[in-house]
C-alpha cells in the first residue's frame, strides 16, 4: 500500500475556502441591507420634495384662483378641490392635498402620501389686504 500524502493540505484548503465562502455571503448580506437603506432614504427625500412642491402649488392655487380654502377639505366633491388635485399632484392614486380650518381666518394645508400626512403648513387671511399669506413658523414635518 502506498503512503497517502497531501491529506492535511486538502483539509486546510477546504477549511480556508469554506471560511472565504462565509465571508463573501456575509458581505453580500451587509451590502444588500445598505442598498435597501439607501433606496428608502431616496424615496423619503423624493416624497418630502413632492410635499414641498404640492403645498407651494396649493398655496398659489388658492391665491391665484381666489378659492376659499374651506372648500378644499379632504375628499371634497368641489370642482376647485378636484382641479387643485390635478394641478398640484403627480401621483393621484398615492397623494392628496387638502386644507382644514384652524380658526375663522387660518387654514392648514396638508400633503398626504399613502394615507400618511407628510407635511403641513398654515396660511392666514390678511385682514388689511384680503389675501392669504404663510403663517410665520407654520412648517410641520411629520
Sign of CA dihedral 102, 134, 136, 96: positive
Query: What is this structure's pTM?
Result: 0.76
pLDDT at 2: 64
Cell of 119: 407635511
Express each pLDDT in 68-100 by its tens digit: 999 999 999 999 999 999 999 999 899 999 999
Cell of 59: 398655496
Q: pLDDT above 90 covers what percent of the chain?
A: 71
Our CA angle for 136, 137, 142, nearest 5°, is 140
Amino acid at each position: 500500500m502506498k503512503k497517502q500524502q497531501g491529506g492535511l493540505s486538502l483539509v486546510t484548503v477546504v477549511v480556508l475556502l469554506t471560511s472565504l465562502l462565509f465571508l463573501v455571503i456575509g458581505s453580500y448580506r451587509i451590502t444588500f441591507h445598505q442598498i435597501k437603506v439607501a433606496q428608502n432614504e431616496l424615496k423619503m427625500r423624493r416624497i418630502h420634495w413632492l410635499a414641498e412642491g404640492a403645498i407651494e402649488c396649493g398655496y398659489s392655487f388658492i391665491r391665484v384662483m381666489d378659492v376659499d380654502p374651506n372648500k378644499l377639505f379632504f375628499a371634497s366633491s368641489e370642482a376647485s378641490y378636484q382641479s387643485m388635485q390635478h394641478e398640484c399632484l403627480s401621483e393621484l392614486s398615492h397623494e392628496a392635498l387638502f386644507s382644514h380650518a384652524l380658526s375663522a381666518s387660518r387654514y392648514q394645508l396638508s400633503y398626504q402620501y399613502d394615507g400618511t400626512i407628510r407635511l403641513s403648513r398654515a396660511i392666514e387671511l390678511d385682514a388689511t389686504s384680503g389675501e392669504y399669506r404663510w403663517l410665520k413658523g407654520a412648517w410641520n414635518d411629520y
